[in-house]
Amino acid sequence: MTLIAYGLMAAGLICFASMGITHKLGDRVQAQPLGIAIIAMTTAAMVSLALSTILQGDAIRSIPLTIILLALPFGASAGIGLWVFQRGLRHGHIATSWLLVNLSSGVPTVLSIMVYREHLTVRKMLVFCLVIVSLLLLWWDRRGQAKENS
């Protein structure tokens, strides 16, 4: 990987972690989940648009209308998912919630393998197996907590 790829990966990790901290702080001060989701999604949209315009201005001006119309329902779905996630935090543990959000990337991974016939390397297969192990450990932990509370 190039230095740029590592930089983008680190920036994504920092942004994702910042989003988690923002949600936890919002939950601690009893902020409305919808407000947190709206602020997070609006900020993300503004930063993305600003960076895209600065870095790729010509490409932004020539986006076909069909792409914009396709992006709108997915953006709305992301916003609704964020709002539902924030509401669900009050009924569970933050660590479990964020673990499930992180593990949810397994769904598009499986679809990518099945639909696009993506080639699996040994590394990708190992990571996919670790995702499955993580889900099993999460289930085992939840089962143990349920028995302790009974």
Query: How much is the pLDDT for 94?
Result: 63
Confidence of residue 150 (pLDDT cuts 50, 70, 90): low
Q: Residue-wise over 35-44: b if at least 16 C-beta within 10 A, else e?
A: ebbeebbeeb
pLDDT tens profile 27-72: 788 888 788 878 888 888 888 888 888 888 777 778 888 988 988 8
Residue 87 included in any domain: yes
The answer to whether the beta carbons of residues 86 and 26 sit under 8 Å apart is yes
Nearest to 127 by CA among 113, 117, 142: 113
Same domain for 10 and 39?
A: yes
Instruction: Please report where in the chains the tokens 């329902």 appear, as a residue.
Output: 73
pLDDT of residue 54: 86
Q: Which residues of 100-124 are buried (b: 16+ CB within 10 A; e: fewer)?
A: ebeeeeeeebeeeeeeeeeeeeeee
DSSP state of 91: T
pLDDT of 77 strictly over 80: yes
The domain containing residue 66 runs over which residues?
1-92
> For the chain, what is the domain count?
2
Q: pTM for this structure?
A: 0.56
Q: 14 and 85: one domain? A: yes
In-domain check, residue 97: no
Residues 7 and 65 in one domain: yes
pLDDT tens by residue, 90-137: 676 666 666 667 667 777 778 888 888 888 889 888 888 888 888 788
Q: Is residue 83 part of a domain?
A: yes
**Sequence-distant contacts of 12-19: CB under 8 A, at least 24 apart:** none
Same domain for 24 and 87? yes
Model pLDDT, residue 146:
67
